[in-house]
Structure formats: structure tokens, C-alpha cells
Amino acid sequence: MRIETNLIDRKGQNFRDLPKEKKSNGNNNNKSKKGRRRQKKPTESVVKELLRTCKEVFARGGAGIVPHAKDVERLRSVLDGMQPADVGLSPAMPYFKTVETEGAPPITYLHLYECNKFSIGIFCLPPSAVIPLHNHPGMTVFSKLLFGTMHIKSYDWVTDVPHSTNQNPNPSNCQPTGIRLAKIKTDSDFTAPCNTSILYPAAGGNMHCFTAITSCAVLDVLGPPYSDPEGRHCTYYRDFQYTSFSGDAELVPEEEREGYAWLEEREKKPDDLNVVGAMYTGPKIVGN
């Protein structure tokens, strides 16, 4: 899902400083083995490892280009091992509290990093918050559930049938112009810790919807990120049961119809979607 990040720091400033390494006060003339021992480099933070891996994996990336399978597994492995504390999060933070408000609960987006090759960010959802059904045009997307329980429903387009094939439609049940048939990829609850989910430009559930069962946090890596100038717009959809439109009843065998749905493009972002940006305050992802 696209988030406007112009009000969120993109330059790595105002991040929490990591402890600085203390300088040694030892005698320079000390020729003992201890004195000659090389200092061990500090362990690379998990978020810096994530950034470094993303830069390598998406180095030759672009719209519609899927990274090599070995690179996909490298990045998946880094994300699979991540914990909420690695990005400075805990379920007790205000982002995840139930708030008495009219309409949908607000979702908080923490912007970590973005370049023309990929972006990294975290969605913080209180209970019952929903990220509506939307697409990821030409993208490979990694989603890591850091904590909580979430329902994910995802679809891929069915490409081997016409978009609209009504020859003798029932006027009261005819599908609208522009609606497309999609196959359900995922329709399940996920509870952390669980494996990172991956979607691809034309597979893996490129269009998905997230519903928070409990408070939860999802770290997203998008390669490449959304870009209006480059034609990668975030489009939202409504979904309808396959049987909602009888004109195309013969496209899918009756015993398989529960695995399909019709998707209709929304003209604009849903009015009840409330996403606010907040400053990322976890360990530094860029800089020393």
C-alpha cells in the first residue's frame, strides 16, 4: 500500500543513536599478545543487515523483475529472524492501543528507508484495523509479521479467461464493466512468529487485504516501490463472490468456485482508510 512519506524523515536524521564504542586507554608499547590482538568489530545491527541485503538483492531490480531465487531466500532469511525489538517496537506502544473513535481505527506507518530500487516500512495496526484490498504493480513484496495475529486474504488475476464474457446475462445479476476474475491465493489467519510472506508481480497473491485480529506490526519491503511517474500506482479493489454474477457461471467448475472472486477497481482510496505517519525511533538503519 502506498504511503506519502514527504513528512517523514528520509535522510536518517533524528534516529536513536547507538552506543559509541569506547576508546582503549592501553599502553601503546605493550607488546603482549593481548595488546597485539585485533579489536573485534561490533556486530552489525539487524536493520543494517536488512538494508545491506536489500541493496544487494534489488541492485539490478526494476518493475516486473523478480530477484534470483537465491536472493529471494537470502532476504527471506533475514526477515524471518527479525524480532519487534530489532526495530524498537513493543505491543505496549501507543500505536497498537484500541482508540475510541468514529470510523476505522487509525493505522500508523513508520518509514525506514526508500530509494528508486526498494522501500522499507512498518505498518502498526491496532485490533480490528484493516488495510483494504490493493495491488502491487510490477513489484516483489516481502511482508514480515513481527507480532500479533492477522488475517490475510490475497488474490492473483486469472489470465486465461476474458475480463467480461456475458453472452446472455441475467440483467439483475450482470457483472459491471471492468470487473475481473481473480483466484484466491490466501485466506487465513497468521500469528507471529511465522514465515515471511512473499508476493510477486503476477503470482503469490499480488493483491491483498490485511485485517488485524489483535494488535500487530508488519514490516514491508517493496521492490521497486510505488511510483506515480513510473506508472506504479496503488489501486484499491472491491471483491465479490464468484456466484455474484451469473453471466459467467460456466467459466469455473462448480466445485472450484469458492476459490475465485470478482474484483472491481475503486475509483479512489477508501474513505475509511486512516493511515498516519510517525517517526521511526528504532536502531539506526543508515549512518554510523
Summarised one tens digit per residue, pLDDT across range 149-166 is: 999 999 999 988 655 444
Q: What is the dihedral of CA 275, 276, 281, 283, to 10 degrees?
A: 30
- Tell me the C-alpha distance between 273 and 132, whole Å: 8
Residue 86 has pLDDT above 90, yes or no: yes
CA distances from 127 to 24, 73, 84, 158, 217 (A): 49, 31, 17, 32, 11
| pLDDT average, residue stretch 244-265 | 84
The per-residue pLDDT for 17 is: 34
| pLDDT average, residue stretch 63-78 | 97
Residue 280 has pLDDT above 90, yes or no: yes
Q: Which domains, and CATH codes, for the chain?
A: 46-160+178-278 (2.60.120.10)
Handedness of CA 152, 157, 163, 164 (dihedral sign): negative
| pLDDT average, residue stretch 64-78 | 97
Q: List, for residues 116-148, the tens digit of each pLDDT value.
A: 999 999 999 999 999 999 999 999 999 999 999
Average pLDDT, the chain: 84
Handedness of CA 105, 110, 116, 118 (dihedral sign): negative
The per-residue pLDDT for 40 is: 39
* pTM score, whole prediction: 0.81
